[in-house]
Amino acid sequence: MQGRSRDDVIREDVRDLHQLGYAQELFRTMGGFSNFAISFSIISILTGAVILYDYGLAWAGKAAVMLGWPLVTVFVVCIAASMAEIASAYPTAGGLYYWASKMKNKNWGWWTAWFNLLGQFAIVAGINYAAAGFINATIVDRLTGGVFNTTEIVPGLLNGQLVTMGILMLVQLAMNIAGINLVALLNQVSVWWHIAIVGAVVVLVGLLGKADQSGLDLFAVKPVDSIGFWDNTFGPISLNYGAATTYAPFLAFFFSLLQANWTYTGYDASAHVAEETIGARVSSAWGVFLSVAVSAVVGYVFLVALTLHTPDLSTLFPASFDGADAATYSQYYFGGGVAVISILIYNLGDFLGNLIAAGIAIAMAFCGLSSVAAAGRMLYAFARDDGLPGSGWLKVVSHRYRTPANSLIGIVVVAWLFTVAAFYVGTGTAVIIVTAISTIFLYAAYGLVIYLGITTEGWLQHRVWSLGRWSKIIGWVSVFWVIVLMGLFSFPTSGNISWPFMVAAVVLLIVYYFGWARTRFKGPQIHGGEAQLSEIEKEFEQAAEELAGA
């Protein structure tokens, strides 16, 4: 933007949007740092890496962090780079859906949209369900003296964690509807909050940390789950899965990678808010890429600090459920304890350990706020082109706040109901169900657009952020990793019964596609010429002036 004023850049952004066929309905006010911040907040090293830390330990011991994190990082950096390149070519809300439609055709766009949308619903659900559990464990239970997480409000259907999740998401919804300026500000706060908590953990554990009592080697793959067993029976289909120690170490290690790879999700958010970003072509591309690169470094430092100072794991991973205290053994076994909280308390004491854990809970709430924002934009963009039922209602933009209010409501309601359904079917495995589903569907969408980027060339003339001669090589590496993920995270580990949800979703999409979408869905639509789009924008400006004067 050197040599150009802020207004000049915005005018150029609006011209770009007009060329794509859309009016500037949303409020374009986010800077480059805010764009990076929303993806960094959704990746949230204090969410995925924390809630699935015990999952990684169960499957691979300390190697899940020491080897798994850097291994996954290499592939995810490639994926982020490939997506950033395409984002610079098509700076529009909805991101991946629009990219696929323009690179290939509307049918590829429709499937990409639905995979991305299902992943968005699941990631909003997974993040906020985990955040609610952490908030209850570190704040609510401390104030009430009870175990609100596991208290069943409605037996078999609704527990305290789901109630807290619902309240948290209502707050996030209100903040999101109130405007992108508030969300952008909170995303910036979230970045510094994450860094401050990580810094505090690294320094305090480094200074006050106790000797490691786990008996695990840092780089040796050694599963510690020896008693887990799950019977997944659905009608005539019965699939039984044993403890992590019953698998070959190589296979167990790869299953542990869910910890790292679910952490690295949601960075397409920078593309979804492109229509609200100043200098969108460049800022969205850097937002996608840098959010992963910065999270990789900060996350590894944080996880290594914890991994070097772990307590005796016998209470977290007991040799037998007989006589074990459900309030202390690992969340991996559906108890009330969380491995990271145990590590913090072991090293820092009860007060300081729980204080840091409460800080992590707040970081998770920030993560959920950002995920609602990004998912709402994706749903709005798809609805704007009449891509799903209820599009007429979902694509409405609030004249007062210039936000896709109805789509935000839709995301929050469906994500909460989805989690209730996962809890009803899988009880304690609900968090693993939703995290696996979000990882698979989001990466399926990522893989589709990257594949199209490799195999088509029309979009190359529009990009302004380029990988040059490395573009295809990095793209094929990315596609390879997405294919690996499809197999790894579809396999039902740890009682993870996400596969029936995914199979049912794909079957319904196939029926819906051939019954309606293939012939009736038109793909990205031109919503008017320059004069018509400008008139739509004037209506929003006039409405804002009238509301301000009321």
Q: How many CB atoms lie within 10 A of CB 367?
A: 28
Q: Is the pLDDT of residue 37 over 90?
A: yes
pLDDT of residue 430: 61
Q: What does each C-alpha distance from 279 to 276, 291, 540 come to in angstroms?
A: 10, 17, 21
Q: Is the pLDDT of residue 500 over 80?
A: no
Lowest mean pLDDT among 129-133, 141-145, 392-396: 141-145
Give pLDDT tens digits for 439-465. Answer: 788 899 999 999 999 999 999 999 999
Give pLDDT tens digits for 75-127. Answer: 999 999 999 999 999 999 888 999 999 999 999 999 999 999 988 988 898 88
Give pLDDT tens digits for 241-255. Answer: 778 888 889 988 988
pLDDT of residue 103: 94
Task: Report which of residues 496 and 190 the model is more confident about.
Answer: 190
Q: Is the pLDDT of residue 326 over 90?
A: no
Contact 44, 267 (CB under 8 A): no
pLDDT of residue 331: 64
pLDDT of residue 495: 54
Highest-pLDDT range among 142-156, 317-331, 406-420? 406-420
User: What whole-number percentage of the chain has pLDDT above 70?
Assistant: 89
Q: Is the pLDDT of residue 335 over 80?
A: no
Two structure tokens written together for 538: 């004037």
Q: Domain residue spans in the chain?
A: 24-382+391-526
pLDDT of residue 421: 82
Q: Is the pLDDT of residue 154 over 60?
A: yes
pLDDT of residue 478: 97
Give pLDDT tens digits for 285-310. Answer: 999 999 999 999 999 999 999 999 99
Among candidates 71, 65, 61, 67, which has minimal Cα distance to 48? 65
Give pLDDT tens digits for 229-279. Answer: 666 666 676 666 778 888 889 988 988 888 898 889 889 999 999 999 999
Contact 373, 190 (CB under 8 A): no
Contact 319, 310 (CB under 8 A): no
Task: Report which of residues 131 and 70 the model is more confident about.
Answer: 70
CATH number of 24-382+391-526: 1.20.1740.10
pTM across the whole model: 0.91
Among candidates 12, 132, 39, 13, which has minimal Cα distance to 377? 39
Task: Report which of residues 489 and 320 the model is more confident about.
Answer: 320
Q: What is the mean pLDDT of the chain?
A: 88
Q: Give the per-residue SS3 of 7-57.
A: HHHHHHHHHHHHHHCCCCCCCCCECHHHHHHHHHHHHCCCCHHHHCHHHHH
Lowest mean pLDDT among 21-30, 153-162, 326-335: 326-335
Banded pLDDT at 47 (limits 50, 70, 90): confident
